[in-house]
Chain A
């Protein structure tokens, strides 16, 4: 293993921009790593070696010509979740329905990455249309957790998180509808951020649940995530729900946090996200993390958010409802899989056969739940009630943020579970997102930072830090301070402890 692939994005960028490393050799090192280990991990659905090297060559040419780099991350490789459209590069969303589809347009995230000269290595595996918490719902097979390849890397963005932990890329993009960035980060020992809803454009993000979906940065350090955050966030006139306000200064906040002082910061521990149902090792890791925050000078307060216990059921009405409508477009008429078009069947029959063949079990389950929840006569009881719960959860957050600056909890109740363990038990799978869902329902910011390894199974645990909408900088400061204290106390990073592949 060469040093290059173990470096942080900030370190790689500094070396490339200083001319000490070429972007091409950095890119090639990561492509070589992918070639070497991805058979075991299966993080990537598509590797765009030529596209990546082309960007790298441009960066090197610019630096040779004395031009300033296009961004602080110019030349740094990145793994892109396959739910974001990429012009000329396949985009499948982990579904048979879109196998072979090559979008004619770029998502805004891809465009921003391109403009920043970030090197996109390829597209990462995911649960089909981002529905799942293990990546087992991918039509193209599961991704394996680099900590233990018999275990899941979380989901839906398991490909992105695994690529970081396997040193296939120092940066990745995920999307988080109910925890799909944070939960995979937690179980792979990496950092994952769900920015405030509306701060990263959804244009070109294939919609699963429009009012919840948010793309965000994934990395191995909080600072790297912050650097990537500032590249992908910002107002986009192509997304009506995009916020037209300055991006919070997250890089500055991360750097401030790295100074190691959290005095004056009020941290709320969410009462509802502890106790029964949580793996003991996860709770112990969480408690140690809270103690470390206290040691950094933070004021720790217990905060109750009583309506959070309704978040999961409300989420599983809103999310399938929007999903049932968003996925209606996959009808074989204009793109995607077409089945049964033999000249004897009507368009309606072809639509039906194609959807039957193109969607997996979890997608069908959610389409059916959502169709039911929106039906006349059930709308008020289901979708309507869920929206009321959503309002109550927003109020719980508002009340909590009157008392504290950030909230913390475990990111997910357990460490990585075994592949196959929960696949036949949807409820057990859904519980993985118990702690992450409230921030999606409220549209707030939240991230997961590793809090070390669980003492009962030696697998990574995540600490969730949540912040009010447009106060993303607060959680970056707290997470960066914690990360540094954690590594200082342990004398190594969490990923330093990952077994060799």
Chain B
């Protein structure tokens, strides 16, 4: 595949206005699937979280998960949407092996939530309003694993394996209105929007929003129109852009690619494109000879959903603070720079830091532990930060021990790692491993004297004024105390003894 020609970004903006449309799928974290009683859990042995209904066996029927409807309404309300007084599910008909019934139970012209907006905060603190067209309920499909072809693609595969564990997992699809007027900040707006949506879902507690596991997936529609033109240009849809950074890259790439085509007098083909993580490019999907006709019609196996206004108002009371307001508040309260704020949110540490601060730790230390060391640990262990086996209270305790001089930073990291390994709380680990800083001078002096006696030549050098030679003695003492001594104090004692 030859790389597409790209127009320099400045030139794109000089000639065109970008218009975006973002479709985000969020998997709900309900205990069970949307239309059956199977457990809703990521992974698992293939085809173990299945039953007649989610396998689409003949005769099986769906029953709506009430918790799924509740989450959908809360999401709709948090996106400032209207909540339908009456709406139905619809069947979206198309054939695909990982879709058990060969139709997806979704919503069509009667979404549960519609006509809202989400205010998102850009990197410089400016707030941009993204219009929300609709949020609707649907079910996820199973997964296909193509074996034998290159890079797991269906093309050239010898055979495919199907796993229906994900089939029937509740999804909310959130569709923006056309995002206009973002100009050069279009890629940033796209990222900020998905970021804000992710924060909102976490704050609502309705989804794990793990983009790496596909519990949040973004399709980015991008089109360009010549400056001054009213009507939209032809759009492309880049599918499954699965990290926050990729959203920004994909939008930027498509802007530059489309601009090059248009500048060259070409036309944009309305198509689905795939994002390439490796180089940030997009490539065309399988060309569609005809536009898909999904033959939507109301799902006759389900009854209409008619949420009472009382229930909707009850749910409205459970809404969290809007993401951008929360950001502003936290930035002010904790006195963070824009960059610090971004790191805090991008690592997903904000709630953990807040809880650590609540447990008595200073903001700076709490932030530093979570954003740096613990984020590294989470990456190394391939888990989310929140899934690490340490509580904010335990982190606060470690910070306290450092402040009291009972742990050095180095020891503290060992303690935390042991906690993460499941060896118990910080105090238990210290006790069990005997890791406390040796601060008792009499114990240290014995070790110092022993080291001095073992290296009389070094003692001579120190006495002769070569103070830097003390390092050798300090090293010996640290070794003898298995690193538990405070090196600074050891040095002081060595110099005192050699006076």
Contact = CB atoms under 8 A, between A and B. Distances in A.
A329 B297 contact: no
A104 B297 contact: no
Interface in B117-171: 160, 162
B93 A374 contact: yes
B97 A333 contact: yes
A279 to B, nearest CB: 35
Nearest to B299: A210
A91 B57 CA distance: 12
A211 B302 CA distance: 10
Contact of B59 (A205, A330, A334, A371): A205
B60 interface: yes
A376 B62 CA distance: 26
Interface string A302-330: 00000000000000000001101100111
Give chain A's interface secondary structure class.
loop
Contacts of A329: 56, 58, 100-102
Interface string A330-353: 110111000000000001100100
A207 interface: yes
Contacts of B160: 347
Interface string A174-202: 00000000000000000000000000001
A284 B296 CA distance: 46
Nearest to B303: A240
A325 B301 contact: no
Contacts of A325: 91, 93, 103, 295, 297
Contacts of A202: 61, 301
Contacts of B58: 85, 91, 93, 98, 101, 103, 206-207, 329-330, 335
B55 interface: yes
Contacts of A348: 95
A85 B61 CA distance: 12
Nearest to A83: B59
Interface size class on chain B is: 20 to 34
A274 interface: no
Interface in B39-70: 52, 55-64
Contacts, number: 103
B266 interface: no
Interface residues of A, number: 44
A207 B101 CA distance: 12
- Considering residues B61, B64, B296, which has the most beta carbons from chain A within 10 angstroms of its beta carbon? B61
A62 interface: no
A321 B296 CA distance: 10
Given A104-B57, A240-B63, A210 B101 contact: no
A73 B145 CA distance: 51
B301 A241 contact: yes
B56 A334 contact: yes
A334 B167 CA distance: 13
Contacts of B97: 331, 333, 347, 351
Given A103-B58, A207-B59, A375-B293, A240 B52 contact: no
B300 interface: yes
A77 interface: no
Nearest to A201: B61
B29 to A, nearest CB: 23
B57 A335 contact: yes
Interface string A53-83: 0000000000000000000000000000000
A238 B63 CA distance: 6
B162 A333 contact: yes
Nearest to A328: B102
Given A203-B61, A329-B102, A322 B300 contact: yes
A428 to B, nearest CB: 28
A401 interface: no
A359 interface: no
A356 interface: no
Nearest to A341: B159
A464 B208 CA distance: 57
B97 to A, nearest CB: 5
Given A98-B58, A207-B61, A351-B97, 13 more contacts: A85-B59, A103-B59, A202-B301, A204-B60, A207-B58, A241-B303, A322-B300, A328-B101, A329-B58, A329-B100, A331-B102, A335-B58, A376-B293
Q: Pick the 4 closest A-B CB pairs, nearest first.
A: A328-B102, A374-B295, A210-B300, A211-B300
Interface of B: 52, 55-64, 91, 93, 95, 97, 100-103, 160, 162, 293, 295-297, 300-303
14 contacts: A91-B59, A104-B52, A204-B60, A238-B61, A240-B303, A241-B303, A321-B297, A322-B300, A324-B295, A328-B93, A329-B58, A330-B58, A371-B295, A374-B296
